[in-house]
Amino acid sequence: QRVFSGRKIEFLLDDSYRMRWLANHQQVSYRTINRFRSHETTAHLLAEAFVLFRRQLITNQVIDNEVIFVDGTKIEADANKFSFVWRKATTRYERLLDEKSEAFYQTLYQDEILPCLKEENQSVGLMSDQLEEIAHHLEAELQETEQQLQNKKRKEKQSPLKKKCRTYKKYLRKVQTDYLPRKQKYEAYMRLFQ
């Protein structure tokens, strides 16, 4: 209930039956609560209690030793109120990313920048390894175009090659900074949800 003050805890012990049950129906003053919290052995006692409690949960196979979830939604170890990862949101945003990456792939394929990477029966969206393959292909095309640009003489017209270079850089930046990191993050989340 986000109550940290000794006086408020004392008030809840009087007011709430659940808190009274936790205190074993004993009336505890705020001075006793504050003395307990500020005592030098309390920190060690709580840390040891946490370790023993966690060990007991693992031996009874209540929790898995790899990842600890709170309500099936917690993934990151940074425990603040904004660090929850909801499965529903992950699924939704992954679907939207799949639609965007599919449209992006179709654009690259129609502009004859990429060869066919997907099978016809594959579902919508690209996997992270396919996005990495697209990035490698774009890097190779960009290097080849830059090499052609350097080999051309100044008097010859360079604007189509420069435009092609800018287009490749734009596509490569989009894959490397947006699509690929997000897809890898969503795939990692979905593996943890399993």
CA 39/CA 46 separation, integer angstroms: 12
Same-domain pairing of 110 and 187: yes
State whether 122 and 179 are in the same domain: yes
The pTM (predicted TM-score) of the whole model is 0.54
* pLDDT, tens digit (0-9, with 9 covering 90-100), for 60-99: 988 776 655 544 454 455 556 665 667 788 888 888 888 8
Reported as a single tens digit per residue, the pLDDT across 96-137 is 888 888 888 888 888 777 776 655 545 667 788 888 888 898
Q: Are residues 116 and 184 in the same domain?
A: yes
Can you list the alpha helix ranges (DSSP code H) found in the chain? 6-15, 17-22, 30-38, 40-59, 87-110, 128-151, 159-174, 180-193
Residue range of the domain that includes 23: 6-59
In a domain, 71, yes or no: no
